[in-house]
Amino acid sequence: MARRPRRAVRRPGGGRRGAAGGGAVSVRVTWLGHSSVVLDVRSGRAGVPDVRLVTDPLLHRHAGMLRRRGERPAAVWQDSDAVLLSHLHHDHAELRSLRLLGDAPVLTAPANARWLRARGLRGVGLDDAWHAVGAEAAGVEVRLVAAVHGHRPMPHRPNAANGHLVRADGPDGARVWAVGDTEHHPDMVHLPALAGGPVDVALVPVGGWGPRLSGGHLGPAQAARVCAEVGVGVAIPVHWGTLHAPGGRHLPRGWMDHAGAAFEAAAQREAPGTRVVVLRPGESWSSDDA
């Protein structure tokens, strides 16, 4: 994929871009484990660079006290145009990992962005407007959406939480929902209207780093019902099967492998119109292959 050296975040100038002479927009999703995803968006237009986004990057072997099962992620996150950060819990906002991404803007809630800037990172506080990311001709825009995740407040970091909507313009646009940590909430039903059309791809949390979930999370069955309510086209489960606390040998056997398959089974019952793609860390799915 063609890359570009300069990273920018702008408010869009208005109107739909690039319908003339363009091909179909495509997205490629690479799951790095937990909530870390590399999202490559290709405009389908000759000479227009792709846009690379990375969500909640955990790029080291461990995150605080939590241990990663498997190897450190491959460096497919390099040359990212922006980071989509959902909140500041340590399993989502790991400062060493964020610093690996250099000057890539970290798009998050304003309170989180201020906290990041105080630590030398390029935090950019978004609101409920669309903000253009990457080369202007690529037509990729990002905005925040609501998330409800306040059950484990931190005294030393802001506790704002959000998801992100990504839309890529063009004759065959694409809309991606990075759900972030959240429980079900009434505003979810409005996401297609906010996105300007159906949600084509959702990165849906379905588990955690232990066999039991605290409040503010979606389990497999809840996540499937959310996909049905929103009308998600393709759902890729995240936030499962990657991290565990020390002493995991005392936990139920196989708990780390349960959530992905459980979500797929629940979606067959609850969201038959949603296609579920279960990835392993390091694997990718592309809309070109759908």
What integer pLDDT is reported at residue 63 of this predicted model? 67
The torsion angles phi and psi of 281, rounded to 5 degrees, stand at: -50, 130
Please write the tens of the pLDDT for every residue from 72-90. 778 899 999 999 999 887 7
Please write the tens of the pLDDT for every residue from 221-233. 999 999 999 999 9
What integer pLDDT is reported at residue 247 of this predicted model? 65
What integer pLDDT is reported at residue 17 of this predicted model? 31
Mean pLDDT across the chain, nearest whole number? 83
Higher pLDDT among residues 51 and 219, named by residue = 51
Please write the tens of the pLDDT for every residue from 194-231. 999 999 999 999 976 555 655 556 789 999 999 999 99
Report whether 96 contacts 68 (CB < 8 A).
Answer: no
Q: Which of 276, 264, 192, 200 is nearest to 230 (CA)?
A: 192
Residues near 127 by Cβ (< 8 Å), separated by ≥ 6? 110, 143, 144
Separation CA 204–CA 224 (nearest Å): 9
Q: Which of 251, 141, 158 is nearest to 207 (CA)?
A: 251
What would the mean pLDDT of 164-181 be, rounded to a whole number? 86
Q: Is the pLDDT of residue 166 over 90?
A: yes
Q: Is the pLDDT of residue 6 over 60?
A: no
Q: How many CB atoms lie within 10 A of CB 197?
A: 11
What would the mean pLDDT of 125-134 be, rounded to a whole number? 92
Maximum mean pLDDT: which of 8-12, 48-52, 57-61, 175-179:
175-179
What integer pLDDT is reported at residue 263 of this predicted model? 94
Report whether 166 contacts 175 (CB < 8 A).
Answer: yes
Q: Which long-range contacts (CB under 8 A, 24 or more apart) does 135-138 make?
A: 135/4, 135/48, 135/49, 135/51, 136/10, 136/17, 137/17, 137/18, 137/43, 137/45, 137/48, 138/41, 138/43, 138/48, 138/49, 138/50, 138/51, 138/168
Higher pLDDT among residues 71 and 130, named by residue = 130
What integer pLDDT is reported at residue 48 of this predicted model? 86
Q: Is the pLDDT of residue 11 over 70?
A: no
What integer pLDDT is reported at residue 289 of this predicted model? 81
What would the mean pLDDT of 165-183 be, rounded to a whole number? 85
Q: Is the pLDDT of residue 157 over 60?
A: yes
Please write the tens of the pLDDT for every residue from 238-254. 988 876 667 656 666 66
Higher pLDDT among residues 123 and 69, named by residue = 123
What would the mean pLDDT of 115-129 be, rounded to a whole number? 94
CATH match for 24-289 among 3.60.15.10, 3.40.50.300, 3.30.70.100, 3.40.50.170:
3.60.15.10
